[in-house]
Amino acid sequence: MFNKNSLGLKIGRWMPWAKRVACILVLLVAGLAAVDGGWRLALGRMEPVYAAQTAPVPDCKECESQVNAARKDLEARIDKDRQDAESRIDKAMGLSEWILAVMITVFGFLLPLLGGLAVYFQLKQARRDAEEQVKSLGKKIKKIDEDYRENFPQFSAMDARMQKRLSEMKLHMPSEDDFNEPELFAKMPEMDRQYIQDSELTVAALSVFGLDQSASLRARLLSIYGVFARFHNLRDDHFKNPEEEDFARAVTYAGRVIELDPKSAEGYRMQGAIYLDRYRLLKDELKSTDRHKLEELLTAAETVLDEAIGKCTSSTVDAGAYYNRAMAHFYRGRVEKAVAVSRHLLGLEEKVPLAQREKYLPPIYVNLGSYLARRALDAKAAGQTEDERKFSGEAVQAITKGVRDFERTTMQDGGLERLRKLLLSELVGNEELSQLEAAYVEQLWAMAKKKPEKKDAAVTGTDGKDAGQKSPGAAGGAD
């Protein structure tokens, strides 16, 4: 239908090549135009450089002045900026120091306050916890007591029988006055001694079954344990036994008194007196050379006696604790402290219970005189005549004051008689008072209502001990 050599077919066959040639030509023209534009732009930028190179050069002096002016201006700006910076730094430092001072002040008050508040709340919480525990224990004890009464009536009956038995024992026990004088133990009937020893078995049975913890029996047991302690203490002193059987029992029974009534000074004072009596027995009677044992006894006595003094209240003073503490100082060789403790007790006389005044104040006055006499004798040995007279006069004045105080108190006739008896015993058997100057000794004998005897006579004190073997305070017992 178409001729293959027709013009239309030929044109159609060559069309792709025509398009290619046209594109090449267009790209060539565009490239030439771009190159021409680039050269023109480059030449346009170089024109100021060429202009600068061809411009006339200014005068050097003028340039130098401009440079110097610019430099000065720059330096002025730098100085100003530096001054401004330093001013801002100073202000910032001042502000920071002020802030720091405020913080230190605030925290200095706040930290202790916060710490105190923390401790307060902790203690408050601990107190609440303790109160809760006490309430809980009280409820448990009450429940145990109810169960005890309800479920174990036989123990209630036994408790009643024990109360009756202890009451009978207390009636037959020697009174405390019977243990005030060492010689009274020798006069005690053998039946009474045996009764006390038999009673120990009864009380030991109570302890085995735990009945000694009963509240209804505690008050009776307190006095009974005290009797046991004094009995074995005096028995130890009477028989002068090197073994410690009676001494150990006396300490144990005094310890039971402390257990039953730990807030009272009585048990501590009693135990301290027992240690001192054992010390005196070993040192003076048995002539012991065991320094370690003697030191141990004195240390134990001082410890419990300090505890007894600590139990004294502002309204009640245990005279026996001070009395024995002064003797412990004397045994240590601390005579000045023995004098100070004795005088301190006499200054608290109004706070001493009436029952203790007759028991302890007479020996306190006599012992104070002996302590001062010892100082007088020491001054005499040192050749200090004035101090010897001073302390000798004070010794006589101390005992004179005691006699006069008891003479003014009609309710304490027994105390006056006891003081005179102790003074007589000291003059007969104690080297301190008997070795003062004759004038002072005569005054003491006059107060004791006794004429002086020859010093070479073999005399015996009222406690049955040979003259010269007694220590101050030994008369009347340490308890």
Residue range 19-57, pLDDT digits in tens: 666 667 767 766 666 656 655 555 554 455 445 445 455
In this predicted structure, what is the pLDDT of residue 151?
A: 56
In this predicted structure, what is the pLDDT of residue 214?
A: 63
Q: 209 with 235, same domain?
A: yes
Q: Report the pLDDT averaged over residues 380-393.
A: 93
Where residue 135 falls among pLDDT bands split at 50, 70, 90? confident
Q: 168 with 132, same domain?
A: no
Q: 104 with 139, same domain?
A: yes
The last residue of a domain, from among 190, 221, 243: 243
Q: With respect to residue 442, please indicate whether it lies within any of the assigned structural domains.
A: no
Which residue shows structure tokens 């340039």?
Answer: 63
Q: What distance in Å separates the CA atoms of residue 364 and residue 356, rounded to the nearest whole number?
A: 11
Q: 134 with 206, same domain?
A: no
Where residue 112 falls among pLDDT bands split at 50, 70, 90? confident
Q: How many CB atoms within 10 Å of residue 124?
A: 10
Q: What predicted TM-score, i.e. pTM, was given to this entire model?
A: 0.61
Where residue 413 falls among pLDDT bands split at 50, 70, 90? low
- Which range (198-212, 233-247, 252-266) has the least confidence? 198-212
In this predicted structure, what is the pLDDT of residue 260?
A: 87
Q: Which amino acid is at 92?
A: A
Q: 173 with 230, same domain?
A: yes
Does 98 have pLDDT greater than 70? yes
Q: How many CB atoms within 10 Å of residue 121?
A: 10
Report residue 32 CA to chain centroid gap.
111
Q: How many CB atoms within 10 Å of residue 431?
A: 15
The last residue of a domain, from among 220, 243, 266: 243
Looking at every residue in the chain, the average pLDDT score rounds to: 76
How buried is 18 (Cβ within 10 angstroms: 0-12 exposed, 13-18 middle, 19+ buried)?
exposed
Residue predicted with more confidence, 40 or 207 = 207
In this predicted structure, what is the pLDDT of residue 468?
A: 34
Does 335 have pLDDT greater than 90? yes
- Secondary structure of 130-157 in HEC code, one letter for each residue: HHHHHHHHHHHHHHHHHHHHHHCHHHHH
In this predicted structure, what is the pLDDT of residue 453?
A: 45
Q: With respect to residue 400, please indicate whether it lies within any of the assigned structural domains.
A: no
Report residue 331 CA to chain centroid gap.
27
Where residue 467 falls among pLDDT bands split at 50, 70, 90? very low
Q: How many domains are contained in the chain?
A: 2
In this predicted structure, what is the pLDDT of residue 62?
A: 65
Residue predicted with more confidence, 144 or 421 = 421
Q: 211 with 182, same domain?
A: yes
Sign, CA torsion 104/107/108/109: positive
The H-assigned helical ranges of 284-318 are 291-311
First to last CA, the chain: 163
Q: 184 with 132, same domain?
A: no
How buried is 264 (Cβ within 10 angstroms: 0-12 exposed, 13-18 middle, 19+ buried)?
middle
Condensed to tens digits (0 to 9), the pLDDT of residues 177-201 reads 556 666 667 777 777 777 777 777 7
Q: With respect to residue 337, please indicate whether it lies within any of the assigned structural domains.
A: no
Q: Are 235 and 192 in contact (CB under 8 A)?
A: no
Does 420 have pLDDT greater than 80? yes
Q: 142 with 187, same domain?
A: no
Does 60 have pLDDT greater than 50? yes
Backbone angles phi, psi at 448, to 5 degrees: -80, -5
Q: 170 with 239, same domain?
A: yes
| Residue 236, domain extent | 162-243
Does 351 have pLDDT greater than 60? yes
Query: What single string gives the DSSP state of each residue in 74-133?
Result: HHHHHHHHHHHHHHHHHHHHHHHHHHHHHHHHHHHHHHHHHHHHHHHHHHHHHHHHHHHH
Report residue 180 CA to chain centroid gap.
35
Q: Are 345 and 323 in contact (CB under 8 A)?
A: yes
Q: What distance in Å separates the CA atoms of residue 207 and residue 6, rounded to the nearest whole number?
A: 150
Where residue 294 falls among pLDDT bands split at 50, 70, 90? very high
Q: Report the pLDDT averaged over residues 403-412.
A: 76
Q: What distance in Å separates the CA atoms of residue 435 and residue 34, rounded to the nearest whole number?
A: 146
Q: What distance in Å separates the CA atoms of residue 285 and residue 421, rounded to the nearest whole number?
A: 22
The four Cα atoms 397, 401, 402, 405 give a dihedral, to 10 degrees, of: 170
State which of 226-235, 368-377, 403-412, 461-470 shows the largest mean pLDDT. 368-377
In this predicted structure, what is the pLDDT of residue 128?
A: 83
Condensed to tens digits (0 to 9), the pLDDT of residues 265-290 reads 999 999 999 999 999 989 888 787 88
* Angle of CA points 429, 431, 437, to nearest 5°: 120
Does 454 have pLDDT greater than 50? no
Q: Report the pLDDT averaged over residues 70-81.
A: 79
Q: With respect to residue 197, please indicate whether it lies within any of the assigned structural domains.
A: yes
Cβ-based neighbours of 196, under 8 Å, separated by 6 or more = 173, 174, 227, 228, 231
* Angle of CA points 436, 442, 444, to nearest 5°: 80
In this predicted structure, what is the pLDDT of residue 297?
A: 94
Q: With respect to residue 34, please indicate whether it lies within any of the assigned structural domains.
A: no
Q: 166 with 238, same domain?
A: yes
In this predicted structure, what is the pLDDT of residue 168?
A: 62
Q: 203 with 233, same domain?
A: yes
Q: In angstroms, what CA-CA distances link 338 with 35, 40, 364, 399?
A: 129, 127, 10, 16
Q: With respect to residue 21, please indicate whether it lies within any of the assigned structural domains.
A: no
In this predicted structure, what is the pLDDT of residue 19?
A: 62
Q: With respect to residue 347, please indicate whether it lies within any of the assigned structural domains.
A: no
Q: 167 with 235, same domain?
A: yes
Q: What distance in Å separates the CA atoms of residue 191 and residue 173, rounded to the nearest whole number?
A: 11
Where residue 344 falls among pLDDT bands split at 50, 70, 90? very high
Q: With respect to residue 278, please indicate whether it lies within any of the assigned structural domains.
A: no
Which has the closest alpha carbon to 402: 349, 325, 466, 478? 349
The last residue of a domain, from among 211, 243, 275: 243
